[in-house]
């Protein structure tokens, strides 16, 4: 696994308090960043699904079932 250097500025009080409490800032930042990335991906996927659903709104359930069956037969 390769790594990158990330430099951020935080308030002195936060850094001192984290050091005093033996908080591993690297782990906290990695976890927070991973969670933010996951949340952004979910939001993007949700928006794409909603867009698709809006576009598919004009397709009836029967047409949808027929299209799926046709695709399966083509395999």
Domain boundaries, the chain: 12-74
Query: Does the pLDDT at position 14 exceed 90?
Result: yes
pLDDT one-digit tens code per residue, 20-61:
999 999 999 999 999 999 999 999 999 998 898 888 878 887
**Contacting residues for 15 by C-beta, under 8 A, at least 6 apart:** 25
pLDDT of residue 1: 82
- Burial state string for 42-72 with b = 16 or more CB within 10 A and e = fewer than 16: eeeeeeeeeeeeeeeeeeeeeeeeeeeeeee
pTM beyond 0.85: the answer is: no
Greater confidence (27 vs 66) lies with: 27
Compute the distance between CA of residue 69 and CA of residue 48 in angstroms, rounded to an integer: 24
């Amino acid at each position: 696994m390769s790594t990158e250097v990330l430099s951020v500025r935080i308030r002195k009080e936060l850094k001192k308090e984290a050091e005093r409490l033996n908080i591993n800032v690297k782990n906290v930042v990695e976890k927070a960043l991973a969670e933010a990335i996951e949340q952004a991906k979910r939001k993007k996927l949700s928006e794409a699904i909603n867009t698709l659903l809006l576009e598919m709104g004009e397709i009836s359930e029967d047409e949808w079932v027929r299209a799926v069956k046709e695709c399966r037969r083509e395999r």
